Amino acid sequence: MSSSSPVLTQRQLRRMERLPQGHVVLSTRRGVAVVRRPDGRLMRIQPDGRLAGMLRVERVQSYLHVNG
């Protein structure tokens, strides 16, 4: 049986093994590994093994929300 989600590349797996101290792998879903740095910033491990910043998503209230 094959998995429907992409697997991590060998470079991503090697990078996960060599993360600096204090970095924590949070998730490995859909071919993306998400890492939290010691300062709280989220990073992703690209398929080539490089760490890249992630866009920050803030919680917002919908303008369609009606108080009632």
At residue 42, the pLDDT reads 93
pLDDT tens for 6-41 read 799 999 999 999 999 999 999 998 888 999 999 999
At residue 24, the pLDDT reads 95
At residue 6, the pLDDT reads 77
At residue 22, the pLDDT reads 96
- Look at residues 49, 41, 7, 6 and name the one whose alpha carbon lies nearest to residue 24: 41
Name the band, by pLDDT with cuts 50, 70 and 90, for residue 63.
low
Q: Where do we find the tokens 């060998």?
A: 10
Q: State how far the alpha carbon of 29 is from the alpha carbons of 24, 60, 61, in Å.
A: 15, 25, 27
At residue 25, the pLDDT reads 95
